[in-house]
Homo-oligomer: A and B are copies of this chain.
Amino acid sequence: MPKTALIMIEFQNDFLSEKGALAGAGIWKRAKDHNTVGKMKKVLEAARKAGPDKCLIIHSPIGFREGYPELAKTHPGLLKGAEEAGGFKKGEWGAEITDELKPLSDETVLDKRRLCGFTDTELDGLLKNLGVENLMIGGFVTNWCVEATGRSAYDRGYHPVFLKDCMDAFTDEEQKFAEEKIFPVIGEVLTSDEAMAKFL
């Protein structure tokens, strides 16, 4: 059973395409400038090659049902912003995972409806059941869903490994803050190359 999991957070069209509902947030532009998807893809391919006994591959997109019932009582803030922009509607193009990282049929896809990938999902149960310890995390947005998932991972006893070149924040300042002030205090901060060498 795998000791390591790769969690890819919100690599979806609404973030990554210039035509996505959340394009205004500019993640697509920063991801393009940094080749974030290309780097994530290298890790994904290495994980696929390493095989399921070495690394569990988890896609963690966000998605809402028609009418956003999951956010009915949610207070203003980031999630409501996604609703107002009409983003991440399950079953539509915008919520789909970007073509370069399309899940294979035997990979695990865990839809989430909150910032943290553990909230109200199967994630903790699945990882604990398999005995996974290390969580390599990439995706969007660095200070939000990525950090929320990493913080919760630490609290639940996992070792978060933050793939610093496989994620983007809204600004350089925010990316830098997460990389330097938050992530090292609860886990490891590695480049994709370093992480592949160490865990795959």
Contact = CB atoms under 8 A, between A and B. Distances in A.
State the oligomeric state as a number of copies.
4
A155 B74 CA distance: 8
Contacts of A66: 106
A182 B169 CA distance: 12
B152 A152 contact: yes
User: What interface size band does chain A fall in?
Assistant: 35 or more
A115 interface: yes
Contacts of A155: 114-116, 119, 148
B131 A73 contact: yes
Interface string A140-182: 0001100010011011111100000000000001100100011
A72 interface: yes
A170 B131 CA distance: 34
Contacts of A122: 70, 113, 120-121
A86 to B, nearest CB: 17
Nearest to A170: B181
B129 A69 contact: yes
17 contacts: A66-B106, A70-B125, A70-B126, A72-B131, A74-B157, A75-B133, A75-B154, A75-B187, A77-B187, A115-B155, A120-B126, A125-B156, A143-B182, A151-B151, A152-B152, A177-B177, A177-B181
Given A75-B159, A177-B177, 17 more contacts: A69-B129, A70-B125, A70-B129, A74-B157, A77-B154, A78-B185, A78-B186, A113-B125, A115-B155, A115-B186, A116-B155, A120-B121, A120-B122, A120-B124, A148-B155, A174-B181, A177-B181
Smallest CB-CB A-B distances: 8 pairs: A120-B125, A75-B159, A114-B155, A120-B122, A77-B186, A119-B155, A73-B129, A72-B130
